[in-house]
Each structure stands twice: as C-alpha cells, then as structure tokens.
Structure 1
Amino acid sequence: MQLVVESINKSFGAKKVLNDINLTVKPSEIICVLGHSGCGKSTLLNLIAGFLKADSGVLQVDGVDITGPNKSRGVVFQDHALFPWYDVLTNIAFGLTVQGMPEKEAEVLAEQYLNMIGLKDYANHYPDELSGGMKQRVGIARALASGPEILLMDEPFGALDILTRDTMRKELLKICQELKPMVIFVTHSISEAIHLGDRVVVMKKGQIAKVYDVGIEHPRTYNHPRFSELMTEIEGLLMDEVDVSQVIRD
C-alpha cells in the first residue's frame, strides 16, 4: 500500500489553496501534516479521502486513482460526529451494516474494536454520557471497524485537554502498532506532530515547506535532543507566518 500525491493543485474560486503538492507515503507510515489555519492541510486530507477533487495532478493508492470515498480510507474528524440516538456499539457497527454486513456480524466486529479502545463496559452508553476523549475513541473505533489500510485524521485531539490528548496519542500509537495502518494526521501542534509522526510535513501558504524525518524511537519525550532540535527548527520555519500563534508547541 503506497500513497502517491503528485503535482496536486486545488483552488476554491480565485483562491489557490494547494500549489504543486508532492508526497509519497509508505505502508504503515505515520505522516503528520503541520501548519497554521488556512495553509491547506485539511484540504489535502479531504482530497486523499476522496471528498474533494483536485484541479490537476495525480492522487493514487497503489497505482489506482482516488476518485471518491472508499472504505479502504477511514476518516476521523475533530468533531467525533457520533449519532446521538445510537449507543456506542451501534455507532461503531453502523458503517459495517451500511456496507451490507449482517447486523449480528457487525456487532461482533464492533465489540472487538470496542475492546481495543478500552471501552467494552460502555457498549450500551450513548454519546452524551461519554467524555470528550471517550467520544474520540469511539470515532476512531468506528473508522477502524471497516478495516481501512489508510487512516486519515483531521485534528482529532484538538478539542481535548492536554492530559486527555496525551492519553489519546498513546492509544493511537498502540493501535498503529497492532493494526499497522498508514496514517495521515493533521495537527496544529508541533509537539504532537513530533510525538506521533515518522515524518512531519510542514505546510505554508498552500505548499510543502519542508519534510522532517523524526528518527526517534517510541515512546518519545521532550528531553530527547532530537525532539528539542525539531521543535526549534519547525518553530523557526513557521515564524514568518502571520498566524504563527495558531501553531502551538503543545
């Protein structure tokens, strides 16, 4: 499984949002896309998801053009988007039943992913009974239940408090170690990108400014020399942005 993004351009009306984007992602690689609001990172994610179409360029998975959404590419948004009238188990199973899987079989599979995210005791709870972190776990489980080879995550932890966010990062890494999906993770947080990513793609003004190889074994800590070096380098790269305050250290 290889993702190829080649010479991608995208505009909305007269506004150029992406300009000549090139990126190749290897199987099981975690890529963190970092930049301030309006730099084009979420637009890139939506193109890969198949929700948008590029104006020009090539978007392919294993040589096959991306022409629309596909169950091989699961998406997790910042807003968990759970159905409030369904309990947790039904929320996770919903996509499977829509794809035609028998309800009982879908529930069995949903239970497996519920166990994986550590919420097996909450199967019959409703979203408004869960904390923000729990809701995001359910959103991740729902995306994983369809067996995607690529997991696309658009600032999924952005609305969480710092302690919950740290816990969710660790949970995500555990899931990635077990299931080994390719992950494209959009974030505003420099430290989050370095904590999670095999590579960090820094975007500025609709272009890829630089790609950093992180090169640190997990679990990663702030006091690792390479971590501090990357924090300083990326902050410096983003310092000339007008909205640099929207890109955070943590």
Structure 2
Amino acid sequence: MIVDSHCHLDFPQFADDEAGVVARAAAAGVELMVTIATSRPKWDSVLALAHRHDAVLAAIGVHPNEAGNDGLEGPEPLLAALGDEKIVAIGETGLDYFYDYAPRDRQALSFRAHIAACRTTGLPLIVHTRDADDDTVRILEEEMEKGPFKGVIHCYSSGRALAERAVAMGFYLGIGGMLTFNNAEAIRATVADMPRDRLLLETDSPYLAPVPKRGKTNEPAFTVHVADRLAALLGIERPEVERLTTANFFRLFDRAASARPDLASAR
C-alpha cells in the first residue's frame, strides 16, 4: 500500500477527470491520498472532494503565496473548521521567498497562526518552504519553545541543515518527484542520511512529475515512481519502502487512522 501524503486534486488540471485520477491511483497501489487546500475559499470544496472518495482525505490551510490577502492572523478560523474527521492535517502554510507574492511579515504571521492551531488540536502541520530555510527553521524552533507540535516539511528540496534541524524537532520529510530529477544529487544525499522513520511519500500533483513522467501532469498514481527511486537510494525493495512510509504516515497523521481504520490496521 502506498500513501500520497500531499496532492491537489481540486486544481483545474483534474477538473474533468477527478474519478479517473482516483481510479488510476488505486490501480497503481496508491490507496490513500491527502488533498490540500491552499486558501480559505477552497476549504469547503476540498472537503467535499474528499467526501466523494473513500481514498481521499483532506488538509486545510492558507498557502504562503496567498497570505497577503487571505492569510490568518490567529488560529480561530482553522479551529472553527476542523470538526470533520476527513480533515487530517493543517496546511499547507510556511514561507515562500522564491515568488514573494505576499509580504514576508504576512507570511510569517499566517505561518504562526497555523502552528497555534496545530498546538491546540494536535493535528500535524504541513510546511511549504522555498528559498526561506533560515526563517522557516527559526520560526519552527521559536514556536516549539511555546509548546510541542508535529508536522512535515512537504516537498523536501532544501538544504541539509533544514532537514537535520527539522528532524531534530520531530518533523518528517515529504519526498516527492524531485528525488528522481537528474540534478537532485544533493537532495538524494541528504535523504539517504535521514532516519527512515521520518520519510513520507508525496507527489504535490499536478506539479513536479517524477522521472519517467517528466513533462506530464503529475498525479497520485505516479507516487510509485518516487517509491522506486527511494527504494534504490536506500538499498531496499519497494515493498519495504511502502511499508515504512505508510507506517510513518499513520504515525504522523493519526486522525487518518480514525477516518480509514481498515487501511491503518492493514499496514
């Protein structure tokens, strides 16, 4: 069994083939997916999508690129929206200095509001960070001093220091298609050195399709190619990668076990 811990099934690329995407994932052995809301107007539609498919769970949050107009100033909107058991995480949130679509102070304020919601609920935090390693780690470490919370650095593609400090805080690393890219030797070297009980599989679909699907619209079925590359990197067979990453997923996303006890018990 494979879990795609981060995808965007509500994006326009899938609008005409939602059921097909889910069916192809199942055929490939991807039995569970977490679809991520990136702005408040999308929370209800993403949750509705999750309810249309047994294999889909949801996370809600505000992407840092949306933080200028839609960012959170406190955790209250999230806390009011988290009652549905299909919601298994908070995010994605964080810092994006590559695009800088939102003022950095607004990104940081919204980031901290998401963390506060995680601390209150115990749900995991899904962190997006791009060209912002130092500030991302600083905020996480500052917030951890206020009280513990857990989470994942999604789509890990940053420096070794961020991975090491995140894992030291108890965080997980989301491993996606970038692991397969020809120019990703530094990422592979870092991932190979990380504890195996802190690795998750993801696609970030419809983006970042892995080799050998480069140039195509990424989708959850392609998680198998990430699993194959991770298995080769770690020197183990793919079934072992599936077993350990699925166990890691249910350990971090513990509400998922309540939403899908059949899969949690079968892992």
Considering Cα pairs closer than 8 Å and 6+ residues apart, tell me whether 1 or 2 has the greater RCO. 1
Q: TM-score, normalised by structure 2?
A: 0.37
Q: TM-score, normalised by structure 1?
A: 0.39
User: Computing the radius of gyration over CA atoms, which structure comes out larger, 1 or 2?
Assistant: 1
More helix, by proportion: 2
More strand, by proportion: 1
